[in-house]
Amino acid sequence: MKRQVKKKASPEKGSPCGIPHNILFHYLNNPYESLIIIDDEGKIVFMSQSFEPYCSFSAKDAAGRHVKEVFPKEEITNVLVTGRAEIGYAYLYSGKPCISARIPIVEKGKVLGAVTKVLFWHAEKLNELYQTINGLKGKLKLYEKKLNQIYMSRYSFENILGESPLIAKAKEIAQETAKTDSPVLLIGESGTGKELFAHAIHGGSSRKKGPFVRINCTSIPTELIEAELFGYEPGSFTGADRKGKIGKFERAGGGTIFLDEIGDMPIQLQTKLLRVLEENEIEKIGGAPKRVDFRSIFATNRDIEKMVGDKEFRLDLYYRMNVMKIILPSLRNMKEDIPRLVSHFLHSLKREMPKRVNSISPEAMDCLTRYPWPGNIRELRNVIERVLITCKGTCIEVSDLPENIIRRFGSLFLPANASLLLEDRLASAEKEIIVDTLKRAGENRTEAAKILGIHRTGLHKKLKRYGLN
């Protein structure tokens, strides 16, 4: 009698990877997620029983029917055409919130069918997800708004003060230039308003809704300026941000980039800048070329033509920048505008001051008009702000002006017995500043000393010296 050997159970026929059909069926038919599998003609091969409450067919009867017959609004057949998965679609199905994924079944490049997998959630959970997403969208909009506020023009042509022929001519050229996309070169001494003109040109152009990106070529270390202008890819050099960096030119896409003090750009970087201007194409450090749509404005207080002759600036780059050149006049060449500028600064700044200074004497105005203003309009504004702080009365007199102006012209107007000694005038100014600071600090000497940047003991000695105890 032969010994009976019990054969080892083999996987049921047709089950993939040796998984028995009953186990595979129970997995596909679990109550936590719902599945529909269709063939390449859109006919249902399998449907989870959890779908039965949402259609008029049982899972058994649905098999062999076209998916549109069972679920008229189901878009899984799109996947058969495109061959691309559709992941994370959120919608209401028979009034119940769900998220679905539609995945093609592909073999050797041919679409054999598709699977739609639906997760039904409790409405509260889905609402939490929607609220989280909406919150993130709100934050994103806030960050975009703040970024736009940073990169936007703040001045218009109306902010450019002065009616002298020179400034009127510069403004006229700038307004015409704003209508084009041509490069602009602004030339003028420090303090003549080059940045204000750049803002106004951008604000008057068709790019005004785009970003206005400013970069000062003197404020960035030479070894970092290339990364700052053009950006870099992640890990392109030691110490690089692992997320990479967007350069200023790319940030200016759709808008304007303003390169201030272009005359100070290193000669070795001028070649790359020329290529960017000619092709409107940037190349990040460690990256591939990329086209960017921008308009360029340049400014300098240096003699570029002399720099070209001295081989300090590329001639071809100068020609590329110098399509529209606007020369901004110095304040000493538009003295007729000084009274108008003084009046503007006086009224705009006094709103921030605790004192009520309403006017300026003709003698003091004469001094300001005679002064050569090496720092131009910026220096004039700073002088008016200082005078508003130290002025003793409601009218600015010659004696209230800074020492360097009084030394040159004040003797024409000061009384004969008025002291012009530097020591006396410095002491008078220091006394006024201390009094004003004490008021701002609410008579708190410790706080006043902190504001003035001196020790409390030093402040006490000065108070005693000036009889302010």
Q: What value does the mean pLDDT take over residues 230-240?
A: 81
pLDDT tens string 244-281:
888 899 999 999 999 999 999 888 889 889 989 988 88
Given a cut of 70, whether residue 423 has pLDDT beyond it is: no
Structure tokens at 338: 């000084």
The residue ranking higher by pLDDT, 329 or 118, is: 329
- Rg of the chain, C-alpha, whole Å: 38
pLDDT at 450: 86
Confidence of residue 318 (pLDDT cuts 50, 70, 90): very high
pLDDT tens string 277-310:
988 888 888 888 889 999 999 999 999 999 999 9
Q: What is the DSSP string of 51-115?
A: GGGGSSS-HHHHTTSBHHHH-TT--THHHHHH---EEEEEEEETTEEEEEEEEEEEETTEEEEEE
pLDDT tens string 343-363:
999 888 877 776 678 889 998
CB neighbour list of residue 410: distance below 8 Å, 6 or more residues apart: 367, 398, 399, 401, 420
Backbone φ and ψ of 369, nearest 5°: -70, -35
pLDDT at 310: 92
The residue ranking higher by pLDDT, 126 or 62, is: 62
pLDDT at 33: 73
- In this prediction, what percent of the chain has a pLDDT beyond 70? 83
For tokens 């190349």, the residue is: 283
pLDDT at 289: 86
| CA–CA distance, 236 with 202 (Å, rounded to integer) | 33
pLDDT at 30: 76
| CA–CA distance, 401 with 382 (Å, rounded to integer) | 12
Q: What value does the mean pLDDT take over residues 322-328?
A: 94
With b meaning 16 or more CB within 10 Å and e meaning fewer, what string describes 290-324?
eebebbbbbbbbeebeebbeeeebbeebbebbeeb
Same topology, domains 16-122 and 332-465? Answer is no
Q: What value does the mean pLDDT take over residues 62-75?
A: 88
Cβ atoms of residues 202 and 212 within 8 Å:
yes
Confidence of residue 192 (pLDDT cuts 50, 70, 90): very high
32: left (phi over 0), alpha (psi -120 to 50) or beta: alpha
pLDDT tens string 397-408:
888 898 888 877
Given a cut of 70, whether residue 422 has pLDDT beyond it is: no
Confidence of residue 1 (pLDDT cuts 50, 70, 90): very low
Cβ atoms of residues 204 and 159 within 8 Å:
no
Q: What value does the mean pLDDT take over residues 27-52?
A: 86
The residue ranking higher by pLDDT, 457 or 299, is: 299
Q: What value does the mean pLDDT take over residues 363-391?
A: 90
pLDDT tens string 89-132:
666 666 677 777 889 998 888 899 999 888 765 556 656 666 77
Given a cut of 50, whether residue 11 has pLDDT beyond it is: no
pLDDT at 417: 47
User: By three-state DSSP, how is residue 310 classified?
Assistant: coil
Given a cut of 80, whether residue 177 has pLDDT beyond it is: yes
Given a cut of 90, whether residue 237 has pLDDT beyond it is: no
Task: Locate the domains of the chain by residue range.
Answer: 16-122, 157-329, 332-465
Q: Fold for domain 157-329?
A: Rossmann fold (3.40.50)
CATH number 1.10.8.60 given to 332-465: yes
The residue ranking higher by pLDDT, 371 or 464, is: 371
Given a cut of 90, whether residue 7 has pLDDT beyond it is: no
pLDDT at 9: 44
| CA–CA distance, 187 with 166 (Å, rounded to integer) | 13
CATH class of 16-122: alpha beta
pLDDT at 410: 58
**Would you give the DSSP letter of residue 401?**
S
| CA–CA distance, 297 with 186 (Å, rounded to integer) | 8
| CA–CA distance, 282 with 251 (Å, rounded to integer) | 11
| CA–CA distance, 204 with 224 (Å, rounded to integer) | 32
Backbone φ and ψ of 356, nearest 5°: -110, 85
User: By three-state DSSP, how is residue 180 classified?
Assistant: coil
pLDDT at 189: 92
Cβ atoms of residues 296 and 257 within 8 Å:
yes
CB neighbour list of residue 328: distance below 8 Å, 6 or more residues apart: 167, 170, 186, 187, 188, 189, 192, 193, 194, 197
Q: What value does the mean pLDDT take over residues 204-216?
A: 91
Confidence of residue 73 (pLDDT cuts 50, 70, 90): confident
